[in-house]
Amino acid sequence: MKFLCDQMLGTLAKWLRLFGFDTFYANAEMDDEELLRVADEENRILITRDKQLIVRAIKKNLQIVEMTLTDIDEQLKRVLKDIKKYFHPVYSERSER
């Protein structure tokens, strides 16, 4: 599971990395088009507060987590809860018994 955090979510990006998630943190020079391109090409879940960016990501059928929270503990809980909808476990024949 890979994430892309926009410029407003640097602390969240740091914590996701500490938890072992592959997390791209966008720098201030990146525009929205570049963020969307990276998210699409690298199959990353976009995490953002930017309403306009969310609308554009939805139009491109990208995976997103809309972040409305400011407390880092609550942000982490939200991400972990929201990624369940993107997680598709692979079951082997053995695990179905």
Which CATH number applies to 2-87? 3.40.50
Closest CA to 18 of 66, 84, 79, 69: 79
Residue range 17-45: mean pLDDT, rounded: 95
Has residue 87 got a pLDDT over 80?
no
Per-residue pLDDT band for 12 (boundaries 50, 70, 90) equals: very high
Cα(53)–Cα(14) distance, rounded to whole angstroms?
Answer: 21
Per-residue pLDDT band for 89 (boundaries 50, 70, 90) equals: low
> The whole model's pTM is what?
0.84
Could you give the strand order of the β-sheet that contains 2-5, starting from the edge strand earlier in sequence?
A: 22-25, 2-5, 45-48, 64-66
Domain boundaries, the chain: 2-87
